[in-house]
Structure 1
Amino acid sequence: MLAYIWAEDSAHHIGINGRLPWHLPNDLAYFKRQTSGHPMIMGKKTFDSFPKLLPGRLHVILTHSVECEKEYADNDQVVVVHNENALRKWLEEHDSEITFVIGGASLFKMFKDDVDLLYVTKIKEKFDADTTMPDLDMDRFALKYEEKGTTDEKNQYQHTFFVYERK
């Protein structure tokens, strides 16, 4: 089962210079809770934005980089695939579990007709950004869960967590 997880601002922005445009610890904790124990598919830029490998999750990286493959060849926490066909083959072999697509935008576009679950944090602010979430046909999804996030000293932006399931 394929799931997307991302956070976006009121203009559907999701990134700037390979990073999140905001700092929202509640969303980072939500991301960790949802993805722990599940494989995560990402592009190389998304992977490079992490300070280190995230514990308890398989990192499936779509990249043309042979160096990346060599660097993680002996690491059972990383799988490197070099094209969409190889990634789709990997997904077929792991279809029984929830696999999260975590970015970037090109991966969200690639699988928009295949995704079953959407985990989105909507932030009620607009930020400078250079990356926008691709349009998804939301008529094909039903709201399954909604929770307003807590705003406090560390989480300064109003935000809500949503989960949608394909109808």
Structure 2
Amino acid sequence: MKISMIVAYGKNWEIGLDNEMLWHISEDFKNFKAITSGHHILMGRKTFESIGKPLPNRTSLVLSNSGFEHDGVHTFNDVQKAFDFARASAEEELFIIGGANIYETLFPYVDKMYLSEVDFEGKADAFLKEIDFSTWDLTQEKSYDAIIENEKVKSPAWKFKVWIKKD
């Protein structure tokens, strides 16, 4: 089973503020849905709570030490048990979707990264740990322009990149 992470982050590795996303990029949400649909997604409890419900056409796995429960969600207090559950379900690619602590803790297991680099600098309280790309190969890259409406940035510019860990 391949273990992948998917995340959007700003210029200073910002990923969130007050358990909310820092921007709204419709195309990035569509991309996230297309990539993760039909797969298991693994997240921390706070990330699940920020989403509020299991995402359609995905199997939601939540890591929590607090005994968290929610209909339609599989909760684990041990990452290996979550991995084993996904493997037992014949998952081919498990997606880690956040938050900051989950990304940092599970990064050593990651084989592939789907990264949205957002042209954003601003207030945040959740950050992705800076990634050393020297052990990764860039396999895909696409740039998106900002969307401006009424002289305001509706959606910032961003780049989508896919990285695979070097052997």
Give TM class, smaller chain.
0.7 to 0.9
1:165 partnered with 2:164: yes
Deviating 4+ runs (over 6 angstroms): none
> What are structure 2's unaligned runs of at least 5 residues?
none
Q: Look up the equivalent residue of 2:49 and give its one-letter code.
A: D
Count the aligned residue pairs: 161
Distance 1:88 1:53, change over 3 A: closer
TM-score, normalised to structure 1, is 0.87
Q: Is the 8 A contact 2:61 2:76 kept in 1?
A: yes
SS at match of 1:119: strand
Q: Deviations over 1:139-166 (max 9, x none)?
A: 1110000011243247531111000001
CA shift, 1:122, in A, is: 0.6
SS at match of 1:111: helix
Distance 1:28 1:96, change over 3 A: closer
Q: Take 2:114 and 2:90, find their aligned partners in 1: how far apart are those partners?
A: 18
Equivalent residue, structure 1, for 2:92: 97
> What are structure 1's unaligned runs of at least 5 residues?
none
Q: Is the 8 A contact 1:60 1:79 kept in 2?
A: yes
SS at match of 2:32: helix
SS at match of 2:147: coil
More strand by share: 2
Q: Is the 8 A contact 1:4 1:118 kept in 2?
A: yes
Pairing partner for 2:75 from 68, 80, 96: 80
Q: Take 1:81 and 1:29, find their aligned partners in 2: how far apart are those partners?
A: 28
